[in-house]
Amino acid sequence: MTPKQTIEAGKAILGIEFGSTRIKAVLIDQENKPIAQGSHTWENQLVDGLWTYSTEAIWYGLQDCYAQLRKNVLEQYEVEIETLAAIGISAMMHGYMPFKGNDILVPFRTWRNTNTGKAAAELSELFNYNIPLRWSISHLYEAILDNEEHVKDIEFLTTLAGYIHWQITGQKVLGVGDASGMIPVDPKTKTYDAAMVEKFDKLIEPRGFEWKLLDILPKSLNAGENAGFLTPEGAQRLDVSGHLKAGIPVCPPEGDAGTGMVATNAVKQRTGNVSAGTSSFSMIVLEKELSKPYEMIDMVTTPDGSLVAMVHCNNCTSDINAWVKIFKEFQELMGMPVDMNQLYVNLFNAAATGNPDCGGVLSYNYVSGEPVTGLADGRPLFVRSANDKFNLANFMRAHLYGAIGVLKIGNDILLKEEKVQVDRITGHGGYFTTKGVGQKMLAAALNSPISVMETAGEGGAWGIALLAAYAVNNDKQLSLADYLDQVVFAGNAGEEIKPTPEDVEGFNTYIENYKKGLAIEQAAVDNKK
C-alpha cells in the first residue's frame, strides 16, 4: 500500500508525544515507517515558584500539533484522516496532576520541580527504595506535609499522558512504564508495589482522608493490553476540524522513558538507551536488582514491566540551544542568512575537533536544579581560567560534554560499582541529530560503543506509535521485545561508534574538573538571583 492508500483505508497509526519543549505527532504505515508528522512548540512556565503547563496550553498544543499533522497529510497525499488503526499518547513522566471530577485541583506540577525534598527523603527511608523528587508520590506526600487544602478532595491522580488518555477515552489507566514513575512497581506483578502502597496508606492514616492510594491511582496496564477507544468527545478534542471519527483503539499511555526504549529497540535485558533532549536520561534494562538503593538511580520499568535502572538529569540541551541562538543573533547582526539546521551542524562538527579534555574549559548547563549532583537550583555557567585553551571548538565541546556530564556521573555507579552488563546502548533525541558528533561524545562518557539509528530523530512519538501498533497488529502474540526485533527493526542495529582511548581519558579528565567545580555552580546559585 502507498501511504495515501494506507491513510484512506484507515490503517495508519498515530503516535503523539508531549515533550518538554515540543509536542510531536507521527503517523506510521503498516510497515511501521513514518509517513507524516506534525509538531507544536511550547515552554513550561514558572508560576508561584513551580514549573507548570496550563491545561489550556496542553489542549491548544495537542490540537495545533494534530492540525499540523493533518495539514502535512493533505499537502503530501491530498487526503483527509477520517479514521486510524490505533492511537498512542505519551508524555514526560512523573509530576502531579490531581483531579476532582474533571477539574484539576492545583496547576500541573511537572517533573522539573524540586520542592519535594522532605517528602522524597521520608518515603525513600520508609520504602528502603530511592524515591526521586519528581515522582508523583513525592509530590503527593509533599502536598500532605505542607497541609495543602486540596489533598482531601483528590479523586484521581495521574501523569500528563494519563490525563490526556483519560480525556479522550474516558479510561483512567496508565502504561506500566509511566506508572512506575508515579510510585514503585513490582516487576513480578507488573503493578504498584503492594507492600509500599500499604506502608503509604498507614503513614497517612492519621490525616483522615477519605481515599486510599489505590482509590486515586490509574490502573496499571502492560504494553498490548486494551486501554479503551477514542470517544466522540475525544475525537473532537483531538481534531477540531471534525473529520476524525470515534471508536479508534488507544493503547496504554506511556512515559517518554518507555517510548524512548521502544524507539531504540532497548526493552530486552542487557540493552540500554540514552535519550538526550531538553532533559537526558539513560535506561539500562537489568538482569537482576541492584545491591542497594542509590539516590541518583531511579528504578522504573519497560512498557512490558521489566526492571530498568534510570539515571535522569534535569538538564541537557537547553543551554546549548541558548548559545546557538546567540550565534544566530550574531549572524543576523552581520547581515548573513541563518539556516538553523546548518548552524547546529557546523557548531557540533566544530566541537568534534576540540581537545579531548575541552582544553580545561567547563560548562554547567543547569537551567534548573540537578538532584544527581545535589543542586536544588541551577545557574547556567561557563567557566575558564586564563591558561585554558579557549577557542570555538573547545567552547562547543565543553557544552556537549556538560550536557551529558551528570549522566556520566550516574552511569559510573552502574557500570563501575554495580558491574551491570550491557550489550548495546542506543542514543536518540536532539543531541544526536548531527551525524556522529553526540554519539562520539557519549561513547567517550560511558566508555561504551553507542549506536544511533536513522530513526533517532523520530524519538518518542514514533515509540508510542509502535506501542499502538503492537496493541492492534500483533497477530502472532509476540512479546514486546520479540515484536520489536522481528517486526519493527528486523536486524537493524543502527550505526555504531566505539570510544577512542584519547576521548575516554579526555572525558574522565573533564568530569574530574567538573566535579571539583560544582562548588562554583553552588556559589552562583547562592549569589546570583
Q: Which tens digit of pLDDT belongs to each residue from 359-406?
A: 999 999 999 999 889 998 999 999 999 999 999 999 999 999 999 999
Question: For residue 247, what pLDDT band results from cuts at 50, 70 and 90?
Answer: very high
pLDDT at 493 over 80: no
**What is the dihedral sign for C-alpha 451, 453, 458, 462?**
negative
pLDDT in tens, 503-519: 999 999 999 999 999 99
Report helix angle 392-412 to 437-446, nearest 10.
Answer: 40
pLDDT at position 456, please? Answer: 53
* C-alpha Rg value of the chain to the nearest Å: 22
Same domain flag for 292 and 204 = no
pLDDT at 37 over 80: yes
Same domain flag for 280 and 401 = yes
pLDDT at 67 over 70: yes
Query: Percent of the chain at pLDDT above 70?
Result: 99
Report phi then psi at 105, rounded to 5.
Answer: -80, -35
The whole-chain average pLDDT of the chain stands at 95
pLDDT at position 58, please? Answer: 98
Same domain flag for 305 and 190 = no
E strand spans, 302-369 = 307-313, 362-364
Same domain flag for 103 and 202 = yes
Same domain flag for 209 and 273 = no
Same domain flag for 281 and 144 = no
In a domain, 51, yes or no: no
In a domain, 459, yes or no: no
Burial letters for 215-226: b for 16+ Cβ neighbours within 10 Å, e otherwise? ebbbbbbbbbee
Same domain flag for 210 and 334 = no
Q: What amino acid occupies position 459?
A: G
Report helix angle 392-412 to 318-333, nearest 10.
Answer: 170
CATH at residue 411? 3.30.420.40
Same domain flag for 287 and 391 = yes
Length of the chain: 529
Q: CA 306 to CA 287: how far, in whole Å?
A: 9
pLDDT in tens, 146-200: 999 999 999 999 999 999 999 999 999 999 999 999 999 998 899 999 999 999 9
In a domain, 373, yes or no: yes
Q: Give the domain range for residue 300.
A: 266-452+499-529
Which spans in 9-147 are helix H? 55-77, 117-127, 136-145
Same domain flag for 206 and 303 = no
pLDDT at position 312, please? Answer: 85
Q: DSSP state, 359?
A: G
pLDDT at 455 over 90: no
Using alpha carbons only, give the angle 416, 421, 426 rounded to the nearest 5 degrees: 100
Contact between 300 and 359 under an 8 Å Cβ cutoff? The reply is no
pLDDT at 459 over 80: no
Q: CA 360 to CA 430: how far, in whole Å?
A: 26
pLDDT at position 36, please? Answer: 97
Which has the minimum average pLDDT: 293-307, 317-331, 389-403, 514-528?
293-307
In a domain, 232, yes or no: no
Which has the minimum average pLDDT: 137-151, 262-276, 375-389?
262-276
pLDDT in tens, 92-124: 999 999 999 999 999 999 998 989 999 999 999
Contact between 528 and 379 under an 8 Å Cβ cutoff? The reply is yes
In a domain, 12, yes or no: no
In a domain, 400, yes or no: yes
Report how many domains make up the chain: 2
Same domain flag for 198 and 311 = no
Candidates 445, 468, 441; CA nearest to 16 is 468
Q: In what order do the strands lie in the sheet with 34-41?
A: 34-41, 22-28, 13-18, 86-91, 254-255
Contact between 54 and 45 under an 8 Å Cβ cutoff? The reply is yes
> Residue 50, Cβ neighbours under 10 Å: how many?
19
Q: CA 256 to CA 306: how far, in whole Å?
A: 16
Cell match 509538531: residue? 39
pLDDT at position 114, please? Answer: 87
Same domain flag for 277 and 212 = no
Candidates 257, 234, 327, 239; CA nearest to 20 is 257
Q: What amino acid occupies position 469?
A: A
pLDDT in tens, 178-190: 999 999 999 889 9
What the block records as the C-alpha cell of 201 is 496508606
pLDDT at position 279, please? Answer: 86
In a domain, 242, yes or no: no
Question: For residue 423, what pLDDT band results from cuts at 50, 70 and 90?
Answer: confident
In a domain, 48, yes or no: no
Q: CA 516 to CA 52: how far, in whole Å?
A: 33
Same domain flag for 189 and 299 = no
pLDDT at position 458, please? Answer: 62
Which spans in 146-255 are helix H? 160-169, 176-179, 194-204, 213-216, 232-238
The string of DSSP codes covering 397-461 is HHHHHHHHHHHHHHHHIIIIIS----SEEEEESGGG-STTHHHHHHHHHHTS-EEE-GGGGTHHH
Contact between 497 and 436 under an 8 Å Cβ cutoff? The reply is yes
pLDDT at position 79, please? Answer: 97
Higher pLDDT, 458 or 363: 363
pLDDT at 465 over 60: yes
